């Protein structure tokens, strides 16, 4: 479907646990939108700016140094503060769609539900770092941690030895179960914003579902 000239750009976030396939799907979705003549920026958290990339390297380090839950929360917030101001808001202002691989919901799910940090504080920190920016739509790639972690493990097999699982993939199963539950709780609280995608499906099926969801925003 061609986009009308007066179309307002959308901010769409892709969320989910480890190995949910969202990173591949965001790439496919961005290509698909571009083919339709829609200007799109595909970006990711933590990351999306030079500072964010540095923070990402620190956060996903493989056990080289200790990062407590509180420091972890603040580092994700710092990456987001820069990302929103330097990358996301300017792109939206230039009428580019922004597809973002994880955003504030990831902090609720991982640091709030997963690490057990105070939900109220996480909420106000999220609002501060994101300038209260809320996605127009959030696609939640839902998958059992068992399948997701097995997929994530396969992804790193065959890579150089130091490219083993990152800090989050090494967490115990219960942590990933809490994250899944957390995401589903967020989705239930905001049914207008969230759409749940059954991420266990094959790539083409999931790609079709993502397209259907994006088309709803045209
Ligand atoms: P990725 O696997 O999507 O690249 O994300 C990197 C990791 O960072 C992933 O394990 C989820 C985690 N994460 C958080 O714990 N909190 C956050 O706010 C974000 C954005 C990511």
In this structure, what token pair is assigned to residue 80? 């987001």
* 133 C-beta neighbours (distance < 10 Å), count: 18
Measure the CA angle with vertex 63, ends 61 and 68; round to 5°: 85
Q: Which of 15, 46, 172, 199 to mutate to test the pocket of ligand 1 (most atoms within 8 A of CB)?
A: 46
Residues with Cβ within 8 Å of residue 179, at least 6 apart in sequence: 17, 109, 110, 113, 114, 145
70-108 pLDDT, tens digit per residue, is: 999 999 999 999 999 999 999 999 999 999 999 999 999
Name the closest-CA residue to atom 16, ligand 1.
Answer: 107
Map out the domains of the chain with their CATH numbers.
8-215 (3.40.50.300)
Name the closest-CA residue to atom 6, ligand 1.
Answer: 46
Q: What is the distance of C-alpha 43 from the center of its chain?
A: 9
CB 44 within 8 A of CB 22: no
Which parts of the chain sit beneath pLDDT 70? 1-7, 62-63, 156-165
């Amino acid at each position: 479907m061609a986009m009308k000239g007066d179309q307002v750009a959308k901010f769409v976030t892709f969320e989910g646990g480890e190995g949910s396939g969202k990173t591949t799907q965001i790439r496919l979705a961005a290509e698909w939108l571009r083919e339709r003549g829609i200007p799109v920026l595909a970006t990711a958290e933590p990351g999306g700016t030079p500072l964010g990339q540095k923070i990402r390297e620190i956060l996903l380090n493989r056990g080289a140094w200790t990062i407590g839950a509180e420091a972890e929360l603040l580092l994700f917030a710092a990456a987001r503060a820069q990302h929103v101001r330097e990358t996301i808001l300017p792109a939206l202002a230039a009428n580019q769609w922004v597809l973002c691989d994880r955003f504030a919901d990831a902090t609720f799910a991982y640091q709030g539900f997963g690490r057990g940090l105070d939900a109220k504080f996480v909420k106000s920190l999220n609002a501060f770092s994101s300038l209260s920016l809320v996605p127009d739509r959030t696609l939640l790639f839902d998958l059992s941690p068992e399948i997701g972690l097995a997929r994530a493990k396969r992804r790193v097999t065959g890579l150089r030895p130091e490219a083993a699982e990152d800090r989050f993939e090494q967490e115990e199963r219960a942590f990933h179960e809490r994250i899944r539950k957390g995401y589903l709780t967020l989705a239930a609280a905001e049914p207008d914003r969230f759409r749940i995608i059954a991420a266990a499906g094959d790539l083409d099926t999931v790609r079709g579902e993502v397209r259907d969801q994006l088309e709803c925003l045209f």
